[in-house]
Structure 1
Amino acid sequence: MDATPTQVWIIIGVLGVFTYLIRLSFMGLVGDRPLPEWLLRMLRYTPVAVLPAVVAPMLIGSGAHSGDPLRIGAALATLVVGLTTRNVLWAIATGFGIFFGVGALLG
């Protein structure tokens, strides 16, 4: 299905409005009250869930680069560094470094 530029902008606008409303529900309507402990516990895991959700399609997707050894190697190195150091920034830096460094060496 091909979408016209107008349809794409309408979709972007609608998604923007709904994203704003979702954020308003937390910050505007509940912002002056403390959140329940169960909700805070769940929100603590949001960054942990977002990173794999962003990376997984690049690793196991159906695109041309799916299953690329360089991508898999960088992901495994990122996982190992993340598990051993418990530092997200070091893990991400390792993944980027291996992916772009080895990618530049291999061409």
Structure 2
Amino acid sequence: MTMPTAQIWFIIVVLGAATYLLRFSFLGLLGDREMPRWVLRLLRYTPVAVFPALVAPLVMWPAATGGTFDPARGLAAFATLAVGYVMRSVLWGILAGAATLYLGLWLI
């Protein structure tokens, strides 16, 4: 399916403007005000929700394997979760997952 160039640029501009307005509503309009404690408490969970949403498709349906589950990537995801949970550190979890992934890909 091909689209005209003007339609593609229109979609890009509209989505860019919508993204800008959404971010401006938080940073520009509310940036100099003190947020309520309950909002700050809820915002702490944003990275916890975003990281799994970004990583889950890469683990379950990786493009490198044509969309089929790969045991090395599954094991690396498990290692990341386990080390991150035990150590309470995102950095150690990422390092453990990367090491497990490279070791798993080398062994398999």
TM-score range normalised by the length of the shorter chain: 0.7 to 0.9
Structure 2: give runs of 5+ residues left out of the alignment.
none
User: What are the Cα deviations for residues 23-69 of structure 1, in whole angstroms up to 9, with x where unaligned?
Assistant: 11111111111112221111110001111001111223486243210
User: CA separation in 2, counterparts of 1:26 and 1:9?
Assistant: 26
Partner of 1:13: 13
CA RMSD of aligned residues (A): 2.2
Secondary structure of the residue aligned to 1:67 is coil
User: CA separation in 2, counterparts of 1:101 and 1:11?
Assistant: 43
Partner of 2:75: 73
Secondary structure of the residue aligned to 1:34 is coil
Partner of 2:45: 45
Residue 83, structure 1, aligned to residue 108, structure 2: no
* Residues 89 and 62 (structure 1), Cα distance of their counterparts in 2 relative to 1, 3 Å cut: closer
Identity percentage of aligned residues: 51
* TM-score of the superposed pair, with normalisation by structure 1: 0.82
User: CA separation in 1, counterparts of 2:70 and 2:46?
Assistant: 28
| Length, aligned pairs only | 105
1:33 corresponds to which letter in structure 2? R
* TM-score of the superposed pair, with normalisation by structure 2: 0.81
